[in-house]
């Protein structure tokens, strides 16, 4: 049995897959909607409502290692077992180097948003941390993200680091299920195996103002200067992945199945 702590967006993809595979599961939400268990993680930790599961998936960020420790200990004491496997979902943010990085690459603690200490608690308990690339699918659509970049400085950042790594919700669900069925502890990077070019994304879905600002940066900013137009940049330069998730997919004998289309 699988217990999903914090159903949310992940649960929208994971629950149908588990139902299709006839794998028993239950999930929590803050308000107990859709026949879920009403529960949230807070001091003091109360796990009385949480059933015994073979695998517990924590879908939300935990930024207090003491709280994570308390959760693991309380759950173990409640059910008198240490056999439960723990999967914690995280992001690829700490893998920030410009060179290709696999799951064994050193983490950039300066990029951590407070998750790493709690992740270490899970790893010390022989758990699994899945570092997921940019999540998309359903209501999360990359074409809607361009509106977040409201300043020329923000746009410049996407010219300096053009790679966008993604993983679709369907493949997130498949990755979680694979980790449950063939559990392997440690940190794992999970992407769709490639990357996407922010320049192409702004060319396809950006506003005219954004495209003009990008063109001005290419023409006049020495940090990102390139001859020619934004189209020229896209056509003459290629971006390559900075994240290598091949070890995860090979370990589970799977391949990602959903990819973003940019015309």
Q: What percent of the chain has pLDDT over 90?
A: 98
3-class DSSP state for residue 69? helix
- Domain covering 2-139+166-192+241-252 in this structure, CATH number: 3.40.50.720
User: pLDDT for 148-200, tens place per residue?
Assistant: 999 999 999 999 999 999 999 999 999 999 999 999 999 999 999 999 999 99
Tokens of 242: 């900075």
What 3-state class would DSSP assign to 84? coil
pLDDT of residue 34: 87
The SS3 call for residue 246 is helix
Q: Does residue 263 surpass a pLDDT of 90?
A: no
Q: Is the pLDDT of residue 207 over 90?
A: yes
- What pLDDT, on the 0 to 100 scale, is given for residue 19? 98
pLDDT at 145: 98
88: region left, alpha or beta (phi > 0 left; psi from -120 to 50 alpha): beta
pLDDT digits (tens, 9 = 90+) for 109-157: 999 999 999 999 999 999 999 999 999 999 999 999 999 999 999 999 9
| CA contacts within 13 A on the Cβ side of 66 | 3
Q: What is the pTM of this model?
A: 0.96
Predicted confidence at residue 237, as pLDDT, reads 94
Where residue 227 falls among pLDDT bands split at 50, 70, 90? very high
| Tokens of residue 159, six digits | 């010219």
For residue 144, count other CB atoms closer than 10 A to its CB.
Answer: 11
Q: Name 1's bridge partners.
A: none
């Amino acid at each position: 049995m699988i217990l999903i702590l914090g159903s949310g967006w992940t649960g929208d993809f994971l629950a149908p897959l588990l139902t299709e595979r006839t794998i028993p599961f239950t999930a929590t939400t803050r308000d107990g909607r859709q026949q879920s268990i009403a529960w949230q993680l807070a001091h003091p930790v109360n796990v009385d409502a949480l059933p015994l599961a073979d695998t517990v998936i924590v879908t939300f960020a935990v930024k207090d290692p003491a709280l994570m420790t308390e959760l693991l200990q309380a759950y173990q004491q409640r059910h008198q077992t240490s056999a439960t496997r723990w999967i914690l979902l995280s992001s690829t943010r700490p893998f920030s180097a410009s060179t290709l990085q696999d799951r064994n690459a050193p983490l950039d603690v300066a990029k951590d948003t407070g998750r790493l200490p709690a992740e270490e608690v899970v790893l010390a308990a022989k758990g699994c941390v899945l570092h997921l690339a940019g999540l998309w699918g359903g209501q999360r659509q990359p074409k809607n993200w361009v509106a977040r970049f409201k300043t020329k400085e923000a746009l410049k950042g996407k010219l300096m680091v053009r790679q966008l790594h993604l993983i679709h919700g369907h493949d997130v669900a498949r990755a979680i299920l694979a980790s449950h069925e063939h559990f392997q502890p440690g940190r794992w990077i999970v992407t769709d195996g490639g990357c996407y070019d922010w320049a192409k994304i702004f060319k396809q879905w950006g506003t005219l103002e954004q495209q003009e600002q990008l063109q001005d940066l290419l023409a006049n900013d020495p940090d990102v200067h390139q001859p020619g137009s934004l189209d020229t940049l896209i056509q003459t330069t290629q971006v390559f992945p900075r994240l290598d998730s091949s070890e995860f997919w090979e370990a589970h004998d799977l391949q990602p199945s959903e990819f973003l289309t940019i015309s």
